[in-house]
Structure 1
Amino acid sequence: MNTKILHVDPSSILFNKDEGIETCTPIFTDPKTKSYLDEASIILRSHKNCIGFPTETVYGLGASSLNDESVKSIYIAKNRPLDNPLITHVASLSQLHRKILPPSTKIPDIYLPLIKKFWPGPLTILLPVEDDTTLSRLTTAGQDTFAVRIPNHPVARALIAISDEPLAAPSANASTRPSPTLAEHVYHDLQGRIPLIIDGGPSNVGLESSVVNGLTNPPMLLRPGGISLKQIQEVGHGWEDIVTAKKTANASEPVRTPGMKYKHYSPTAKVILFVKCGNGVKAVQEALSRYPNSKIALLTGSEFEIPETLQAQFAIVDHLGSSITEMAHNLFAKLRNLDKNDMDYIFIEGVPDAGEGLALMNRLSKAAHETISNDSK
């Protein structure tokens, strides 16, 4: 299969503000962008293949969530385990009700303040699966809930609207690899496996959506992501009591959201994560001594103060970012870039596993081969 890349202009896609998220009628000022999304829509409506496309979080691998063959194409292209559920993306509330939810079904009230504040955007909610659902049960891994969100990227939302297909769309990477934030990342992993990648430039957030379950009491944060725990708590209306799910599920345990069970976000090089290591000098020196004759890269954050004499022992030294937001935005792209340079190990400075750092450390800990912690530093 030849994989084609089509470059579109996200700024040429406009939305009627009066519609809000109730409906979605994209307006195109660039005919080429409209033509390319029409081409992508034909593939999606054929229910034969999945395609790569940009979202504000990371690039997604999308196919109709209403058709088993479409959803199977995602699992095949990614080599993804079948018990790892998928998030469905819709363009509007009307599409959600018209295509998935039965007419008599209401979205639970607890979600309404979150939807008002964070949709469209990087927040995913869990809803009950009805007996007569139109959803492919492959998206839910056979469970009684499904995950859904309205993306904020103009290309993603327009594509879903004009194809009129709710899209099951995990990250567009080979399973276990770092998530893609550029079209070239998707091409690297999936060339020859999918027919088309829509290139809409870099993803802005850099981490996947946050996933919440408001069907439990108290509500639960299943996966930290683009919306922080604090932002969710500040909404109130019961969300101030939200609890955090355990980071990793057991091998035999069913999961309701992606990212809880299998190794994720990992480059080919082994990641060594440093937590609570002060300026990093002693911890890094000791770690270097354990890997002689190895090609090692160092990604620093805001606390490490590694002298030039120590930096000289690394093949590559790079700065992940000075803030958690910057580090999160850069993480996957930096990991992929270091993989191009055939590193044996990547040393990464971590951040506090709380507040804004919760989502970043979730990804780093899942990518890590080993975590080095020194509470005394």
Structure 2
Amino acid sequence: MIQRGLARAMSLQVAFETKILKVDPGSIQFAADAHLNGSLPTFADDESKRVIQEASKILRDSDNIVAFPTETVYGLGGSSLNDNSILNIYKAKNRPSDNPLITHVSSIDQLNRKIYGENNLGKDSLLKNVPEIYHSLIDQLWPGPLTILLPVPNASRNTLSKLTTASQSTFAVRIPSNPIARALIALSDTPIAAPSANASTRPSPTLASHVYHDLKGKIPLILDGGPCSVGVESTVVDGLCRPPMLLRPGGFTYEQIVKLGGDLWFDCKVERRKTLESGEKVRTPGMKYKHYAPSAKVILLVPGNIGNEREKIRKLISVIDEQCLVSHGSIKKVSILTTLQLANVSSSELKSALNVDLTVQSLGLTGEEIQANLFAALRKADEDDFADLIVIEGVAEKDEGLAVMNRLIKAAGNEYKSF
């Protein structure tokens, strides 16, 4: 039934004149405990308030969807409670229907009221629907880029669309820290399902212009709040299994989860499988399908045992030479994205050894910089520089590097070389 509904929705093409409306995130203020009790924000800018109210009305009173900034990437939001809104998300993104969506709420109070159907819970019982294993994490990391898995309420109380959860017994939820996202969810008083606001398989958007590139004419409204600060999606953890699992690395590192989670998270495992068993459910976005891929071919250079910088540059040249050879001359433009070991490489140095049009772009020298710049750099190489080949220098899989390499391995279709 769900598949038939999705197929029908995909066949109904509605064209929009997509608007981009600016919102000043600095004009929005929340009380310190608003993420707990659900108190509404205040606005220092009337125009920003008007724009967010317009978007809130769309989410609350229609089946349509809107794009908005979070601290991680831009999200494509529709009501988690509304089948038609979720169908419109799948349609706009061309997203597989067995890929569950993360629900975004503005407060624990909203989670209790809108999803679990429990009103007026006192302060002492506010977390009754959140298992104890998560309490230490959300106390320190919400609002923020942390997603947790919770049990779907029993059938008599459940308000979540089965399309949001992909008909599973758990759902993913977080409270974003971006003030525009929080205000949008709070003013609509609607839990918002929001995958990244890009065409499915494409690099995630960290600017409103990225959203417009992929979804122009497919959605009515994009809220422009400037660049996303984190740059990769939220960390997803499952505390309902033993040992607990980090299902997707993201805005908070594995090391932070283990440290801040306390004794219950000391043995947390990392989901590293590249494929799922036949018939296995996708518990979180990013576990099954192609993700983060530009149109150009991507080769990932994984840090290995090659010694000094000169040797690494020779390896880089040999990789590009090899790709040009097997392409039979179809590779004309190459974009190189560097991190730590190739930080000093110059395009002029490489052009003397290679007969292609080259651009070199640094992703940054710290984990935070590389993470924040990653998707925008992939899109620039693909959409602005029109590269035929993108070669990316990877990093060690620790701290922010775990999330960075998770995305890069998928962007490269698991095609990588040691250097």
Q: TM-score range by the shorter chain?
A: over 0.9
Deviation sequence 1:198-219 (CA, Å, 0-9, x none): 0011100000000000001111
In the alignment, is the contact (CA less than 8 A) between 1:47 and 1:67 conserved in 2?
no
Q: 1:287 aligns with which of 310, 319, 325?
A: 319
Structure with a larger share of its residues in helix: 2
Structure 1 SS opposite 2:164:
coil
Distance change >3 Å, CA 87–CA 32, structure 1 → 2: same
1:280-359 equivalences under 5 Å are 280-292=312-324, 293=329, 294=331, 295-304=333-342, 306=345, 308-312=348-352, 313=354, 314-340=357-383, 341-359=385-403
Q: CA deviation at 1:370?
A: 5.4
Deviates more, 1:151-160 or 1:131-140: 131-140
Question: What's 1:74 paired with?
Answer: 89
Change (3 A) 1:247 1:327: farther
Determine the C-alpha separation between the residues in 2 that align with 1:20 and 1:45. Answer: 20
Corresponding residue number in structure 2 for 1:263: 290
Structure 1 match to 2:168: 143
Match of residue 248 from structure 1: 274
- Counterpart amino acid of residue 364 in structure 2: G
Q: CA deviation at 1:64?
A: 0.3
Aligned counterpart, 2:410: 366
- Contact 1:24 1:91 survives alignment (8 Å): no
Structure 1 counterpart of 2:30, from 15, 36, 60:
15
Long gaps (5+) in structure 1: none
**Structure 1 residues 168-177 or 230-239, which shifts more?**
230-239
Map of 1:233 onto structure 2: 258
1:354 Cα deviation (Å)? 2.8
Q: Deviations over 1:209-233 (max 9, x none)?
A: 0000000111100000000000000
- Deviation for aligned residue 1:363: 0.2
Deviation sequence 1:181-205 (CA, Å, 0-9, x none): 0000000000000000000111000
The separation in 1 between residues aligned to 2:416 and 2:213, in whole angstroms, is: 31
Cα distance in 2 between the residues matched to 1:108 and 1:18:
20
1:246 maps to amino acid: R
Cα distance in 1 for residues equivalent to 2:291 and 2:17: 27
Map 1:184-223 onto structure 2 (within 5 A): 184-223=209-248
Q: Contact 2:290–2:413 (CA<8 Å) still a contact in 1?
A: no
Runs of 4 or more, structure 1, over 6 Å off, are none
Count the aligned residue pairs: 375
1:274–1:371: 8 Å Cα contact kept in structure 2? no
Q: How many angstroms does 1:21 deviate by?
A: 2.9
How far the C-alpha of 1:342 sits from its partner, in A, is: 1.3
Superposed displacement of residue 102, structure 1:
4.1
Q: Supply the distance in 1 between the matched residues of 2:341 and 2:178 (Cα, whole angstroms).
A: 33
Secondary structure at the counterpart of residue 162 of structure 2: coil
Aligned-residue offset at 1:18: 4.4
Looking at structure 2, the residues matched to 157 and 20 of structure 1 have their Cα atoms a distance apart, in angstroms, of 9
Q: Does 1:155 align with 2:155?
A: no
Q: 2:299 aligns with which of 255, 267, 272?
A: 272
Q: Which amino acid aligns with 1:289?
A: D
1:48 aligns with 2:60: no
| Cα distance per residue 1:20-55 (max 9 Å; x no partner) | 533231101111011111111111112321110000
What RMSD, in angstroms, separates the aligned Cα atoms of the two structures? 1.6
Question: What is the identity, as a one-letter code, of the residue corresponding to 2:349?
Answer: T
Structure 2: how far apart are the matches of 1:102 and 1:43? 23
C-alpha displacement at 1:255, in angstroms?
1.1
TM-score (norm 1): 0.96
**2:34, 2:68 → 1: CA distance?**
24
**What is the Cα deviation at residue 311 of structure 1?**
4.8
**C-alpha contact (below 8 Å) 1:8/1:200 kept by paired residues:** yes
How far, CA to CA, are the matches of 2:96 and 2:34 in structure 1?
A: 38
Say whether 1:130 aligns with 2:153. yes
Q: CA deviation at 1:19?
A: 3.6
Give, in angstroms, the shift of residue 17 of structure 1.
1.9
Distance 2:53 2:65 in 1: 15
Q: Deviations over 1:128-158 (max 9, x none)?
A: 0122210001011111100000000000000
What amino acid does structure 2 have at the position aligned with 1:336?
A: R
User: Partner letter of residue 26 of structure 2?
Assistant: S
* Residues 50 and 62, structure 1, Cα contact 8 Å, conserved in 2: yes
- Mean alpha-carbon deviation: is it higher for 249-258 or for 60-69? 249-258
SS at match of 1:332: helix
**Distance apart, 1:237 and its partner CA:** 3.1
Q: Tell whether the 8 Å contact from 1:271 to 1:370 is kept in structure 2 after alignment.
A: no
**Shift in CA distance, 13/42, structure 1 to aligned 2, threshold 3 Å:** same
- With 359-368 and 281-290 compared, the bigger mean Cα shift is at 281-290
Letter in 1 for 2:315: A
Whose Rg is larger? 2
Describe the SS at the equivalent of 2:335: strand
In 2, Cα distance between equivalents of 1:63 and 1:320: 32
Q: Does 1:97 align with 2:112?
A: yes
SS in 2 for 1:41: helix
* Secondary structure class of the residue paired with 1:326: helix
Which secondary structure state, in structure 2, belongs to the residue aligned with residue 306 of structure 1? coil
Question: In 2, distance between residues paired with 1:298 and 1:214?
Answer: 39
